[in-house]
Amino acid sequence: MTASIALTDLAAQHREIEQDVREGFERVLASASFIGGSDVGEFEREFASFCGARECIGVANGTDAIELILRGLGIGSGDEVLLPANTFIATAGAVHRSGATPVFVDCDDKYLLIDPDCVRSRLTPRTRAVIGVDLYGQIAPFDHLADILAGYDVAIVEDAAQSQGATRRCRPIGAHVAAAATSFYPGKNLGAYGDGGAVLTDDKELAADVRALANHGGINRYDHRLPGFNSRLDTLQAVVLRAKLRRLGCWNEARRRAARRYDQLLEGANSIRRIPAAPGNMHVWHLYVVRVRDRDRVLAQLHESGIAASIHYPLPLHLTDAFSWLGHGPGDFPVAEAASRTIISLPIHPHITYDAQARVCEVLLGAVG
C-alpha cells in the first residue's frame, strides 16, 4: 500500500512555528487579554505593512470581512453586487447577509477569473459593487474591471481569501480596489488555528466604519455609533498569524516551486489542461487546479491511490439550492459550468516533496490515458 498524499499539511507548518506559538500563547495567558490583546494590533500593523495597505482590521472570519466591507460602503437592501458564479459560497453568502442581491457573472475559460465583459453585460442602475475573487491564488483582473467601471458609481471589492502574498503588476492584494477581504481559515496560505479574517483598505473612513461595525458599532466601549455586530480577531489567533506571517514569503515561494514542478511533470500531456498565471500576476498557488475529461473517474482513481485530490468547487453558485431563488438554470454561466465539471485540485503546500508530486502525476497521467 502506497503512503497517502494529503491536499495540504498543516502539521508541517506547525512544526516550523511551534516555538513562536508556545511563547506567544504564554504571553497571552499571562496577560489574560483574550480579546483585543496587543498581538491583534501588532498583527494588523504587520499584515498591513506586508500588503502595503494603510489599514488592516482583523475580524472573525473571511465571510464577515466581505460583509463588513459592503456594509461599510453603505451597500444593502435594494442594491445589487456582482460576483463570479465560480467561487466559494461564502462570497455570495456575505452579499446576501448584507441585504444586497448577489448577481452572478461568468468567468473566463483560461484563468477561471471573473470575466470583465460579463460584468459589463450585467450592470444595472442598481449595481453598487463588483467583487472579484482571487481564485486559486492569483489576483483577479481588477485593472480591466476598473476600465469598464470608469464613470460608474460602483465599488470594486476584492475577495482575497486565497491570495495572501500575491501581486498583480507588482501591486499586492488590496492595492487595486476600494477594499479587500481575506480569510485566515486554517488551510489558507496564511491560516490561523481556527477562524479569522481581515479587511485591507487605504480608505481611512471606510476602515473606521468597518472597525466600528465589527465591534458592536463603536470603537470605545458603550459608545455605539452604528448598529453593528461582534466580529473580532481573537488574540490567540493573532499570535499564530504573526508567527506564520514571518514565513509567508518563503512558504509562497515554496508553493511557486511546487507549481513549477507540476507544470514540468505535466508538460506535453494534451489531455490535461493547466490553469496558468495570467500575465503580470505573481500567483501564490493556494490551489493547483487542472482540468480533465471524465473528471469523476480520474478523481476516483487518484483517491484509490491514496491521493487526496479535491474539487474547488463542484457546483457553480447559480445552480446551488441556496441561490435557486435567483431563478437561474443550467446554461446561464456556461464557462463556470464547464469548469465545475472538469476541475481537480492536486495536493499542494509549502512542504510537499518532489516524490509526492511525481507520484500524483504518475497516477494522474495513467488515469487520463
Ligand X SMILES: Cc1ncc(COP(=O)(O)O)c(C=O)c1O
Pick the binder of ligand X from 154, 161, 199, 292 (CB under 6 A): 161
**What is the number of the residue whose Cβ is closest to ligand X?**
62
Q: How far is C-alpha 333 from the geometric centre of its chain's CA atoms?
A: 21
Pick the binder of ligand X from 8, 63, 167, 252 (CB under 6 A): 63
Compute the distance between CA of residue 284 and CA of residue 36 in angstroms, rounded to an integer. 30
Compute the distance between CA of residue 160 and CA of residue 20 in angstroms, rounded to an integer. 26
Pick the binder of ligand X from 44, 159, 234, 337 (CB under 6 A): 159
Question: Does 234 sit near ligand X (CB under 6 A)?
Answer: no
Minimal distance in Å, beta carbon 65 to ligand X?
8
Minimal distance in Å, beta carbon 313 to ligand X?
9
With contacts defined by CB under 6 A, name the span among 57-65, 137-145, 169-177, 208-216 that binds ligand X.
57-65
Minimal distance in Å, beta carbon 17 to ligand X?
20
SS3 7: coil
Let me know: does 283 contact 166? Beta carbons within 8 Å: yes
DSSP for 231-293? ---BHHHHHHHHHHHHHHHHHHHHHHHHHHHHHHHHTT-TT-EE-PPPTTEE---S-EEEE-S
Pick the binder of ligand X from 70, 90, 192, 298 (CB under 6 A): 90
Question: Does 343 sit near ligand X (CB under 6 A)?
Answer: no
Q: Compute how many other C-beta atoms are within 10 angstroms of the C-beta atom of residue 123.
A: 17
Q: Site mask, ligand X, residues 194-213, x = CB under 6 A?
A: -x-x----------------
Question: Does 191 sit near ligand X (CB under 6 A)?
Answer: no
Question: Does 61 sit near ligand X (CB under 6 A)?
Answer: yes
> If binding means CB under 6 A, how many residues of this protein chain bind ligand X?
15
Question: Does 316 sit near ligand X (CB under 6 A)?
Answer: no
Q: Site mask, ligand X, residues 276-315, x = CB under 6 A?
A: ----------------------------------------
Compute the distance between CA of residue 245 and CA of residue 192 in angstroms, rounded to an integer. 10
Residue 345 neighbours by CB under 8 Å, 6+ apart: 7, 287, 288, 289, 309, 310, 311, 312
Question: Does 164 sit near ligand X (CB under 6 A)?
Answer: no
Let me know: does 306 contact 2? Beta carbons within 8 Å: yes
Of 174 and 266, the one with the shorter C-beta distance to ligand X is 174
Pick the binder of ligand X from 133, 156, 166, 192 (CB under 6 A): 133
With contacts defined by CB under 6 A, name the span among 61-69, 209-217, 226-234, 301-309 that binds ligand X.
61-69
Minimal distance in Å, beta carbon 88 to ligand X?
4
Of 82 and 361, the one with the shorter C-beta distance to ligand X is 82
Question: Does 162 sit near ligand X (CB under 6 A)?
Answer: yes
Strand 55-59, strand 197-201: pairing: antiparallel
Minimal distance in Å, beta carbon 31 to ligand X?
26
> Residue 66 has what DSSP assignment?
H
Of 119 and 181, the one with the shorter C-beta distance to ligand X is 181
Instruction: Name the residue among 103, 170, 168 with its Cα closest to residue 131.
Output: 103
Name the phi and psi angles at 182, rounded to 5. Answer: -130, 165
Q: Site mask, ligand X, residues 16-55, x = CB under 6 A?
A: ----------------------------------------
Q: In a 10 Å sphere around its CB, with 0-12 CB exposed, 13-18 middle and 19+ buried, how is residue 331 labelled? A: exposed
DSSP for 122-186? H--TTEEEEEEE-GGGS---HHHHHHHHTTS--EEEEE-TT-TT-EETTEETTTTSSEEEEE--T
End-to-end CA distance of the chain: 22
Minimal distance in Å, beta carbon 163 to ligand X?
9
With contacts defined by CB under 6 A, name the span among 40-48, 85-93, 213-221, 351-359 that binds ligand X.
85-93
211: amino acid identity, one letter: R
Name the phi and psi angles at 281, rounded to 5. Answer: -95, 130
Per CB under 6 A, residues contacting ligand X are 61-63, 87-88, 90-91, 133, 159, 161-162, 183, 185, 195, 197
